[in-house]
């Protein structure tokens, strides 16, 4: 379903990672990404020797509005930075970066959902109003990438119990769960509250 396409060393402010690019073999499609890829591509940021047990791991979905445009409607950029910093501090770990917007609904629909949220819907109601449900395909992609990297078990950085369950059902061994709380702003508190009450997030 997903194959390793290319890799290179990638020095960052959190250490010298190895960036590994995977392709699904599928065209990018209208829902895939904000950057107009011909093929659907996903990324692993790898630090140290990750073949083995108890690898500090984050599974992160891309967020063009938060990570590139600096939106404060969500905490994706802070979560991404915090995960890379923790992996850098430990000297070993993997960040799986899935190139997909808005939990898989695409950038255009994510912005439509923002419009609905400004009209009074929460993040879950807005996605449902647009006809979208939760995304399970991303867990299979992440599991495929972790398998390719020979990661035997993960210490998962997440506040989302459904992510743990989803990865486990996709075949990932989650040996521990580490909370991944980065705080909230006045712009993101409603969104984060809805993730707690409607999606079961712990923080
Ligand atoms: Zn975001």
pTM as predicted: 0.83
What are the C-alpha distances in Å from 118 to residues 5, 52, 183? 40, 46, 22
Higher pLDDT, 155 or 100: 155
User: Higher confidence at residue 65 or residue 200?
Assistant: 65
pLDDT digits (tens, 9 = 90+) for 134-162: 556 788 999 999 999 999 999 999 988 88
Per cent of the chain over pLDDT 90 is 52
How far apart CA 117 and CA 129 sit, in angstroms, is 11
Catalytic residue check, 4: no
Q: Which residue has the higher pLDDT, 137 or 77?
A: 77
CA atoms of 154 and 116, how far apart (whole Å): 37
Token code pair at residue 118: 């400004």
pLDDT, one tens digit per residue, over 21-56 is: 999 866 555 555 555 556 778 999 999 999 999 999
Determine the distance separating the centroid of ligand 1 and the alpha carbon of 109, expressed in angstroms. Answer: 13
Between the CA of 37 and the centroid of ligand 1 the distance, in Å, is 20
Q: Which of 135, 147, 148, 155 is catalytic?
A: 135
Whether residue 136 contacts residue 98, with contact meaning beta carbons closer than 8 Å, is answered with no
What pLDDT is recorded for position 1?
78
For this structure, is 77 an active site residue? no
pLDDT at 38: 60
Q: Report the interhelical angle of 161-169 vs 137-148 (nearest 10°).
A: 60
């Amino acid at each position: 379903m997903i194959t390793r396409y290319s890799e290179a060393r990638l020095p960052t402010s959190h250490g010298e990672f190895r960036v590994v690019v995977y392709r699904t073999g599928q065209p990018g499609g209208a829902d895939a990404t904000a950057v107009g890829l011909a093929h659907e591509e996903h990324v692993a940021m790898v630090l140290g020797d990750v073949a083995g047990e108890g690898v500090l791991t984050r599974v992160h979905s891309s967020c063009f509005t938060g990570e590139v445009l600096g939106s404060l409607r969500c905490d994706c950029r802070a979560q991404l930075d915090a995960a890379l910093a923790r992996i850098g501090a430990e000297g070993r770990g993997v960040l799986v970066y899935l190139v997909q917007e808005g939990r898989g609904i695409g950038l255009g629909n994510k912005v439509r959902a923002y419009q609905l949220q400004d009209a009074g819907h929460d993040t879950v109601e807005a996605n449902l109003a647009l006809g979208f449900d939760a995304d399970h395909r991303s867990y299979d992609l992440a599991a495929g990438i972790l398998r390719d990297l020979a990661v035997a078990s993960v210490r998962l950085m997440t506040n989302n119990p459904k992510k743990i369950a989803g990865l486990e059902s996709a075949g990932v061994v989650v040996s521990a769960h580490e909370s991944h709380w980065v705080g909230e702003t006045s712009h993101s508190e409603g969104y984060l509250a809805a993730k707690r009450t409607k999606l079961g997030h712990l923080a």
